[in-house]
Chain A
Amino acid sequence: MLLFLLAAGLTLIFGMLGVINFAHGAIYMLGAYISYETGRRTGSFLMGALVATLFTALVGAVVEKLTLRPLYERPHFYQLILTFGLILVLSDLVRFFWGPGYQEVPIPQLWSGTVDMLGSTIPMYRLFVIGFGALISVGLYLVLEKSTFGMLVRAASSDAEMVRILGLPVGTIRMAVFAIGCGLSGLAGSIAAPLFPIELGMATNTIIDCFIVVILGGLGNIRGAIAASMLIGMVRAIGYVYMPGWVDIMTFVLLIGTLLTRPQGLFHRTARTA
């Protein structure tokens, strides 16, 4: 589910803006560090998550406004490459403020227990992550498909020129989408913070995982992303039990196979274009 939270932002940005955001992993890392810092100062996990989400969304808005806006009209690879530059900048900024070492965030007290389910013991926090991910996915779906804002976003992605002629601020809509995407990633970072050590490698390692989910689900397809993150999660879980050490390779083989046979993703439906 964590994977979904992460991939949701990436797929949202691609689906609605056509931009592949390489810096997504870096934003995720930033979110984790921010929540660590806020949590350390205020002692509240909730506060940390909130600040991390808002801050990364703000970063996203600024980045979109300053760097991506001049690039929409150019070939796609410029955006790909530009966001690669962003990784370098964000990573070094984080290193500047927090240093190169590992940081840890304690599991919030409310969720620190364990639950017995189906004969095995499961940490409460993991259940919380699952529930929270489900909540976000439903929320995202509702916002995109049912609300006026969602309609605007979809309109702007299918025909920006027309929306502009109708007098609506396409630039602002795009900025909002990018900000939401980054905010989701930052949120994922803060949620992940208690589960994994926080480190600089997050920026370049997680993005590969995100890509896998997003490609398997079909670029820009939110429902596909949900299904794909579950699929990857299952493949990994089973892989760890039966063939530890081959898990990463299995994921990549799955990915490459998908790209070759169904580049539009495993869960693509031609009848509907998101």
Chain B
Amino acid sequence: MKLTKFDIYFGLLLAAASIVLPFLSPGEAMIQLLTLAAIWAIFAIGFDFVFGSLGMVSFGHATFLGVGGYAVALATQKYGLPFYGGAVLAIAVGAAFALLFSFFALRVSGIFFALVTLALSQLIFILADSKLGSFTGGSDGISGVERPNFLGIDFFDPVNYYWFVLGLYALVMLAVISLRSSPFGRVIAAIRDNETRADQLGFNVNRYKQITFVISGALSGLAGALLASLLMYMNPQMLHWTTSGDVIIMTLLGGSGTLWGATVGVLVFEFLKEWLSSWTEYWYGILGTVFILATIFFPRGIIGELEKGFATYQKNRRGGAR
């Protein structure tokens, strides 16, 4: 993919907002919310790598997030590893589970892909929730997850942790941009647009899908580690299939397959949730309604619609100058 003017402008705007906002409105709640959004954005970007770039709906991404969280929680709590060790482990475990899932799920396509990933991830949920309870802490979860330690900076301070997460988010974003504009990314886009043709051209479609899925799983694992560390708590709810549903909602709301869609979707979701839950406890239902309306009327998502508007605007301007 090529970066458009729109992508660059919007990215700058987002970067400015993410740096200025903590100063404009300090307050612990705001910082917490922004950090949460940045972490979920990493997750959503990872998810959209399969959903938007490859065009496959996975209903199992909760697993990769969850095992990432468990990896860091268990590594730091039970085995005394430092946070970084845990985080690297989380990425590896996320990728490993994605690889495992891909062996099963990539044998089928379309709706069946969604259903197989859903079934697998629900199986993992049940395992973590009850069967392996002695290892994972069961439904009580694990509390006291570590935060990173770097050059003596105290990351238990919410603001410092926010900068840490934001930095990681920027790295992930850069990685995804370069991946998507690399030859690898072009092949993936080709598979999405016309799988048969990509296959005929001699690309090993399944191998490409598998690699994409694993990268996506690794990013989700990282997000899981950060999330567990932010909340300093880990429980099986993160593995439940409704988490997969949430990330789909966010991505679609923002605009899947676009550069900033996943991030914007997360921001809108989290801020709406924060705002709605301050005056009603039924925010989830209202959010669901918003989401349904958006699916019907704005299938391109927020960014998709904005891009379209921006393109029309540019065209008109050029037309006017002529």
Residues of A within 8 A of B (CB): 20, 67, 70-71, 74, 76-78, 80-82, 84-93, 95-96, 204, 208, 211-212, 215, 219, 245, 248-249, 252-253, 255-256, 259-260, 263
Contact = CB atoms under 8 A, between A and B. Distances in A.
Contacts, number: 105
B111 A204 contact: no
Contacts of A211: 115, 118-119
B119 A252 contact: yes
Interface of B: 57, 104, 107-108, 110-112, 114-116, 118-120, 122-123, 126-127, 130-131, 240-242, 245, 248-249, 252, 282, 284-289, 291-292, 295-296, 299
Nearest to A88: B288
Given A86-B288, A87-B288, A249 B127 contact: yes
22 contacts: A67-B296, A71-B296, A74-B299, A76-B111, A78-B299, A80-B114, A81-B249, A82-B292, A82-B296, A84-B248, A85-B249, A85-B291, A89-B289, A92-B286, A92-B288, A95-B285, A204-B240, A204-B242, A208-B118, A245-B130, A249-B126, A252-B119
Nearest to A81: B248
A93 B284 CA distance: 10
Given A71-B296, A84-B245, A85-B295, A256 B116 contact: yes
Contacts of B110: 76
Contacts of B122: 208, 252
Given A88-B288, A204-B242, A245-B130, A81 B119 contact: no
B111 A256 contact: no
Contacts of A90: 285
B284 to A, nearest CB: 5
Smallest CB-CB A-B distances: 8 pairs: A92-B285, A88-B288, A89-B288, A252-B123, A85-B292, A77-B57, A85-B291, A92-B282
Interface centre among B111, B114, B291 (most CB of A within 10 A): B111
Contacts of B127: 249
Nearest to A100: B281
A252 to B, nearest CB: 4
Contacts of A245: 130-131
B45 to A, nearest CB: 18
A221 to B, nearest CB: 15
Interface centre among A70, A84, A88, A92 (most CB of B within 10 A): A88
Nearest to A204: B242
B285 A89 contact: yes
B223 to A, nearest CB: 20
Contacts of A92: 282, 284-286, 288
Contacts of A263: 108, 112
A67 B285 CA distance: 15
A78 B295 contact: yes
Interface centre among A76, A85, A215 (most CB of B within 10 A): A85
A215 B248 CA distance: 22
A249 B295 contact: no
A70 B118 contact: no
Contacts of A74: 299
A71 B104 CA distance: 29
Contacts of A252: 119-120, 122-123, 126
Contacts of A67: 292, 296
B289 to A, nearest CB: 6
Contacts of A84: 245, 248-249
B296 A249 contact: no
Contacts of B115: 20, 211, 215, 259
A263 B287 CA distance: 34
Contact of A77 (B111, B120, B285): B111
A121 B252 CA distance: 53
Contacts of A248: 126
B58 to A, nearest CB: 10
A256 B114 contact: no
A44 B130 CA distance: 39
Contacts of B108: 259-260, 263
B296 A86 contact: no
A204 B240 CA distance: 10
Contacts of A87: 245, 288
A212 B120 CA distance: 12
A57 B173 CA distance: 46
Nearest to A252: B123
B284 A91 contact: yes
A211 B299 CA distance: 26
A13 to B, nearest CB: 13
A259 B299 contact: no
B241 A204 contact: yes
A197 B4 CA distance: 55
